[in-house]
Chains A and B, each alone.
Chain A
Amino acid sequence: MNARKADVIIVGGGIMGAATAFFLRKRGMSVILLERGLIGQQASGVNFGNVRRMGRPIEQLPLANRSRETWLKFKELFGDDVELLLNGHLRVGFTPAHEERMAKYAQDAKDFGLDMQMMGAKALRERFPYLGPEITAGCYAPHDGHANPRLAAPIIGRAAVREGAQVFENTEIVSVEKDGEDFRMTAADDRTFRAPVALITAGAWGDRISAKFGEPVPMIAKGPQMCVTEPVPYAIGPTIGAIADVFEQVVFFRQVARGNIVIGGGGHEPVDLENRRAYVNPHRTLYKLKNAPRVVPAFNHLNIIRVWSGIEGYMEDSSPAMGPSARVPGLYYAFGFSGEGFQLGPGVGDVMAELIHTGATTTPIEQYHIGRFAKQAMQAA
C-alpha cells in the first residue's frame, strides 16, 4: 500500500482547514489537506463576508482578536488581496430594549479593544443620513469590517501550498480510521493518507466524522439566504446589522468597494447535503426585501441582481467543536462554527496549529471542547 504520509492530516478545505495547514507549515510540520471539492467552496465561500467582532459572545473575543491580527496582515502573510474593508460595524435597533441590549454588550466587551460607541437617533442620522426614521439607537465598532469570502480560503490554501502543504482537492474520503499509531484516510479512488495526527475541519459534514470516532454532536446544516444589488456609488461605509425580535426579520448588509451591496438575513433554508446544493427560497428573498428598506429606505430604488445560498453547520448551542477529541489521542476538531466562522477562520488556523504543535494554546478555547456534548447527554440520561 502506497500511502501518502505527513505529520498531520486535515480533512476539509474550508477557511479553517486551509489556515491550519498554512500555520502548521509555518511551524515546520508536514501537512496533508484533503478536500472533497475545491478549497473554500462551501460555507467559507458563500457566507456574508463579515470580519466582525462586535456581537460575538464575550468568551469568544480573545479568539476573534487573535484572528483580527491575522486579517490585518492578510496580504503580507498569504500573498494576495482579499478586498478587506475596515470601515467599522454598525448595529442598529428599533426599540428601547434593543438599545439596552447594545449598551449592555458594549459595557461587557469594553476590555477587548472594540472601542464601541453607543449612538442616539440624532447622532446616527448626522453620521449615517441614509438610515430610516424607525431606527432609534445604534452601536458603532470602528475597527470591524468585511472581506470577500469567495477569495479568502482559496488565497490561504494557495499560500499553504507555497509553504509546502500537500493539498488534494476533489478527494472524497470514504473511510477514516485509527490504525495503531496512525490515522488512515481512504479516498473514493483508493488513495490512502496516513498521519499520527488528524484534524477535522469538515464544516457541516464534520459531525459525520466525529460520530465515527464516538463523538456525535447536535448539529444541523442550514443555508443562509444572500442577495446582492447592482453596483451603485460607494456610500454606506460600515457593515450594518439591524436587530429584530423575530429571527427572519434580521437583515444585515455591506457595500463592497466596487459598489454592490450584499444583503443577508431573512432566515435559513434546509440544504441538500448529499448533492452539496443549497437553494434560496424566494419567499425569504421577498421577506428580506420588505425589511431591508426599514433600515435604509433608499434601498427601494435599487435592484437585486443575484441570490445565493450555501451549506453551513449550526450547533445546537451555536458554538463550535474546537480542540482535542475527548476520546481519541491525536484527533482534533474545528467545525460547527454556526454561521459565524469567517472572521474566526485565520485565528482558528493559528490556534489549532499552535495546539497541535505545542500541545497547548494561549487563547482560551476550553468552552468549545467536544466533550461538552457527551457530558450534556449523560446529564440528560
Chain B
Amino acid sequence: MGQCRVIIVGAGPAGVRCAEVLVAAGIRPILVDEGRRDGGQIYRRQPEGFNRSYPTLYGTEAERARSLHQTFESLRGSIDYRPETLAWNIFDRQLYTVSARVSKALPFDALVVCSGATDRLMPVKGWHRAGTYSLGAAQIALKSQACAIGRRVVFAGTGPLLYLVAAQYVKAGAHVEAILDTSSLWKRVRALPKLAARPRVLVNGLSLMRTLRGAGVRIVTGIEPVEIHGSPEDGVSGITYRGRDGSTHQLACDAVALGYHVRPETQLADLARCEFRFDAETRQWLPAVDQDGRSTVPGVYLAGDGARVLGADGAEIAGKLAAWALLQDLGRPVPEAERDALRRERGVMDRFRQGLVEAFPWPAEQAARLPDEAIVCRCEAITAGELRRVVNQMGACEANRAKAFSRVGMGRCQGRYCGHAGAEVIAHAAGVPVEQVGRLRGQAPVKPLSIAVREEVE
C-alpha cells in the first residue's frame, strides 16, 4: 500500500477519534499537538504526580474522558505522536512545526486540522488588569494545576462555560463571588425547545445551576459589565456592572473570569488558504466546510470546535466524519450506515448549538457602548477611541485597513482575542454591517516563534 502522508493537528476529542479511524484503515498519521499530554482542552490530563480522580476532574463527562484517553493510549504504537509541538505555518503542502526550538517542514497529502476553540471575548474597561482571565484560562488553572485564579472570583460574560467553570471552582472549594451573565433568563427560556434537542446535556446544565445555587453563589442575569477596577500594582480589586434596570452595582473581587462562549481557532485553516464564510447567527467568519469537514482546499479537512462549536462529543463525531471523508477521497470504503447515523446525531447537536447561540448571545451591542478609554487590543494596548479615530478620521472601515492604521489585531495574539470585538467597534463607528468589515487576514506564526529556532530536515 502506498502510504498516504496524513497529519492531524490537535489531540483533543476530534483529533483522537480521527486518528482512531485512520489507524483502523491502515494509515499511520502524524499527530501534532501543542499540549504536553493528549486530551485537548476539554479532556486535559493532569500533570504526572497529580492524582485527582476522573469524576473529580471531569464530572459528568468522566466516562467520555476516560474512553478518549484509553483510545489514545491504544493508538500510541500506531501513530507518530508529537506532543509539545506547535503547528506554526502551512506553505506549499507542508505543515511547519516547532518543538524545542527546532522547526520541521512536514509534507502532507492530507491534513486534518482539529485546532479547537478559545474564548470569545468582548472588552470591558479595565480588562487589561492583572487578575482578569478568560474562562478557558480559569479552567486550565484548575484542571491542570489545581489552582484558582483568585481568592474571590467573579465570573462574567455568558455561555455554558460561564456556569461550568464557576461550578468547577465551587466544587474545588474556591470562593465564587458572583456570576454576572449578560444574557437574560427569558432568552434561555425561549431557546428551550432547541436546547431540548439534547435532554441529557440540558439536565446537566440545570444541575450545574442547582450546585451553584446550593453553594449560595449570587447569579445575576441581563447585566452589562461596566468596568474592572484595580491598579497596575495590585491588579483587580472589583467590578462594576449595570443591572437590567439600569442601576449600577459594584462587587469587590481579586480576579475576574471573562468569556462569551467560544470561537473556533481558525488560523491554520486561514494559512492553508481555505475560504471563509460569514456566519450571521454568531456574527463571525468561519471556514467553509461540507457536512463531513472538507474545506475548500483539496486534502485539507477541518474537524471539531476548530470548525464549528458543537462541544466535545460533537467534536468526537466530527473527527470520525473527517477521517471517513479523507478515506473516501482516497478511494477507500467507508461504513456508510455508521456515517449516516453520526451525521444525523450531529444534526441534533447542531440544533442544540443554535439553542446555545440564542440562549447566550454574543453581546455585539456592547461594542458600541465601550468607552473610548477602554482597551480593545491588549497585546498592543490600543483603545476603542483610537480604533474609532482610524475609522472616523482615516476612513478605515475594513478590518485589515483598521489594523494597518491602528495595530488592533497586530500583536502577539494576532487578533484571536480582540478581532471579533474590534470588528464590532469598527462596524458601529462606520455604520456598516459587521460582515462588511471583513475578517483579519491570518499571518504566520500561529503563535510567537523564537528567533533561536533552527530548521531541521527530516
Contacts and interface: CB of A to CB of B under 8 A. Distances in A.
A301 B450 CA distance: 7
B322 to A, nearest CB: 25
Interface-central residue, A292, A293, A305, by most chain B CB under 10 Å: A305
Interface stretch (A60-68, A100-108, A281-289, A316-324): A281-289
Contact of B91 (A282, A289, A299): A282
Interface string B307-346: 0000000000000000000000000000000000000000
B189 interface: no
Contacts of A231: 380
Contacts of A289: 449, 451-453
- Interface size class, chain A: 20 to 34
B394 interface: yes
A150 B444 CA distance: 19
Contacts of A287: 455
B451 A303 contact: yes
Contact of B405 (A151, A281, A286, A302): A151
B404 interface: yes
Interface in B141-187: none
Given A281-B91, A283-B105, A306 B443 contact: yes
Interface string A288-326: 011011000001111111111000000000000000000
A289 B89 CA distance: 15
B453 A286 contact: yes
A305 B454 contact: no
B411 A305 contact: yes
B26 interface: no
A248 to B, nearest CB: 13
A282 B96 contact: yes
Nearest to A228: B410
Given A279-B91, A282-B105, A283-B105, A303 B448 contact: yes
A44 B450 CA distance: 28
A229 interface: yes
A293 B394 contact: no
B455 A283 contact: yes
B414 A306 contact: yes
B445 interface: yes
Nearest to A226: B443
A229 B451 contact: yes
B444 A280 contact: yes
Contact of B451 (A154, A279, A293, A307): A293
A118 B401 CA distance: 41
Contacts of B380: 231, 258
B185 to A, nearest CB: 42
Contacts of A158: 394-395
Contacts of A301: 451-452
B445 A305 contact: yes
Given A45-B404, A280-B444, A281-B91, A306 B452 contact: no
Contacts of A283: 105, 455
B451 A282 contact: no
B394 A154 contact: yes
A236 interface: no
Interface string A123-161: 000000000000000000000000000110010001000
Interface in B409-426: 410-412, 414
Nearest to A258: B380
Contacts of A281: 91-92
B103 interface: yes
A230 interface: yes
Contacts of B414: 305-306
A288 to B, nearest CB: 9
A121 interface: no
A169 B398 CA distance: 13
B455 A230 contact: no
Interface string B66-96: 0000000000000000000000110110001
Contacts of A308: 443
Contacts of B445: 304-307
B162 to A, nearest CB: 30
A305 B455 contact: no
A38 B401 contact: yes
Contacts of A154: 394, 405
Given A282-B91, A286-B103, A290-B455, A304 B394 contact: no
Contacts of B451: 229, 289, 292-293, 299-304
Nearest to A280: B444
Nearest to A37: B401
Nearest to B456: A286
Nearest to A80: B394
A151 B398 CA distance: 15
Contacts of A306: 410, 414, 443-445
Contacts of B395: 158
Interface in B221-270: none
A300 B452 contact: yes
A302 B448 CA distance: 9
Contacts of B88: 282
Contacts of A38: 398, 401
B426 to A, nearest CB: 15
B412 A150 contact: no
Nearest to A289: B451
Interface in A225-251: 229-231
Interface string B354-379: 00000000000000000000000000
A285 B446 CA distance: 14
B411 A282 contact: no
Contact of B448 (A230, A290, A292): A230
Shortest Cβ-Cβ A-B pairs, 4 listed:
A303-B448, A300-B452, A150-B404, A286-B455
Interface of B: 88-89, 91-92, 96, 103, 105, 380, 394-395, 398, 401, 404-405, 410-412, 414, 443-445, 448-455
Interface of A: 38, 45, 150-151, 154, 158, 229-231, 258, 279-283, 285-287, 289-290, 292-293, 299-308
5 contacts: A38-B398, A230-B411, A280-B443, A289-B452, A303-B451
Given A38-B398, A229-B451, 18 more contacts: A158-B395, A230-B411, A230-B412, A258-B380, A281-B91, A281-B92, A282-B103, A282-B444, A285-B89, A285-B444, A286-B453, A293-B451, A300-B451, A304-B445, A305-B412, A305-B445, A305-B448, A306-B443
